[in-house]
Every structure is written in structure tokens, then in C-alpha cells.
Amino acid sequence: MYLPATECQIKAQIPLATLTSFRVGGPAQWYVAPRNFNQLRASFEYAQSRELAITMLGAGSNLLISDRGIPGLVISTRHLRHTEFDPQTGTVTVAAGEPLPKLAWKAAELGWQGLEWAVGIPGSIGGAVVMNAGAHKSCMADMLVNAQVLLPSGKIETLTLEELNYSYRTSSLQGSDRLVTQATLQLQPGDTSLVMATTSKHLEHRKASQPYHLPSCGSVFRNPLPYTAGWLIEQSGLKGYQVGAAQVAQRHANFILNCGGAKANDIFKLIYHVQQQVQQNWSVWLHPEVRMLGEFQPIG
């Protein structure tokens, strides 16, 4: 079926495993991937008129979707892409679906610095704004000017940095019913060759230190400072530990890999096992960075 007055199609029972970096998860009851703002607003109105729960899906790189899937309407922002650089002010306004690595390379090629850290993060701008994505001691909060969000009422609101209330890997948007449609970032002028070199160096570092050969969601747990989650997991002897086809990575213990045919519940059980073991050994409870959506089988 098509949304009223648009060419945007709503589909039923769409498998979500192919749309997440973990490559696991059941189907969406209903799924839509708007290509412009009008279609996005129409998607919201459609869900509200039928009292359907709304779940937003960006690049799917920081998600664990249950094997049972997600009820209601899943709205994917992956096709909402637009980037506009202002060479006079050094700001860039970018739509929610734009991939972070692509934006980082664009900025580097134009000689603007500030996004070098983002080149190895396989997410989109929308998700990065919501979770305050970061790496190499930098994060979205360091450069965000404002974020435009769509409210359930259909109205648009612009949130300032202060209103987003950023802290480590979180913001006031987490758990909210407001959808990021675009963000404006402040970059700094730099030497093109130097920015390109730094960006390349960050990418090579991530490739050398993190496992990219199998599906994963990136870092699973937040770092419980002053420790790092990976160090605590490694010191607990969990590298290589498996539940089904889900494995704690040998190269970086804060990664869980889908070694082929893993179920979402395998990963869910492995996350809980890691939490228990680290708690037992270090009296530290690790909090997941990955978002878990849907219903999972009870443990124990």
C-alpha cells in the first residue's frame, strides 16, 4: 500500500536482519523508507491514525532486534540524505540518513577538520546525534550546533546543544518520541592534506584494532570509567566465549560477532553472561551501548 498523496510504499513483514549490522532479527510488522520530509511526515501520520507504535531505524549499526521482530511501523531514515556545507561559516547541515564515514570523507576532502574521528563509525547522522556517538576522544557534542526533530504532532522543533543535554553516549532524545531529521555541525578550517591524513590514520587504526570481518554492532558496552569495557571483559577471560554462533571477539573483547547463523537471542544471552562475569570478577555492571528492540526470551 502507498501513503496517501505520496509515492512512498508501506510493506508488511519485512525482514530486518538484512538492515542491521548484526545481521539478526525478525520482521517488521510494517515497514516504510521515506525519501523526503513530506513522506516522513506522512509516515508518522499514518502510524498515528492507526495507533501503531513507531520504531525508528537508521543505519542499523547499533541495534539488536529480537528474533520475534518489531510490532507497529518501522520507519527507516536510510534514504533521507542531503549535505550542505557553508564555506563561509564552516558549518555543515546534514540529513538524518547520511552515513558518518561518507560525511567525514567529504569534510576532509574540503579541508574542514572536526569529523576525522567519525570515519570508522558505521552509523548515520540521526543515530549519532541521539546517542552522542564518538571515538578518538571526540564526539558529536563537541561540534553540534543544533538538531532538527519531528514531533509526533507533525511539528518541527530545533534543539540546541544545551537542550540535547549530552553526556557520555546519551542525550535527551534517547527513549524520546522525537525523530531527528537533520543536524548542523560546526567544523574548523584546516589543511586539506593534513585532515585527509588524520582521517586515514583513524580509519586504519580502527581496522587494525577492531574486528570488521564478521557482522557486529561495534562496541557493545559503554566504558565504565576509569576502566574500558574491553579490558574488563578480557581480564575476565571471556575472549572467544560463545553462545550459539555469537562470540566475544578475540581481537577486541567489547565486540560480539555473528560467526554465521547467530540468533538475536544468542547475542542477548551472551551480553548477559558477560555482564554477570564482569560483575562477579570486578564488581562492575556493564551497561550496553547497543539498543535492544523487541521482546527477548527470559534468561534463567
Q: By CB neighbour count within 10 A (0-12 exposed, 13-18 middle, 19+ buried), where does 185 fall?
A: buried
Helices 100-109, 192-209: axis angle to 10 degrees equals: 150
Active-site position among 169, 171, 206, 236: 169
Active-site position among 124, 171, 219, 236: 219
Q: Is 169 a catalytic residue?
A: yes
* Residue-level length of the chain: 300
C-alpha grid cell for residue 193?
592534506
Which run of H or E residues covers position 258? strand 256-258
Q: Is the peptide bond before 226 cis (omega within 30 degrees of 0)?
A: yes
Distances from the Cα of 55 to the Cαs of 6, 102, 124, 270, in angstroms? Answer: 21, 25, 16, 25
Question: Using CA atoms, how far apart are residues 144 and 151, in angstroms rounded to an integer?
Answer: 20
Q: Is 289 a catalytic residue?
A: yes
User: Dihedral of CA 276/206/171/291: which sign?
Assistant: negative
Catalytic residue list = 169, 219, 289
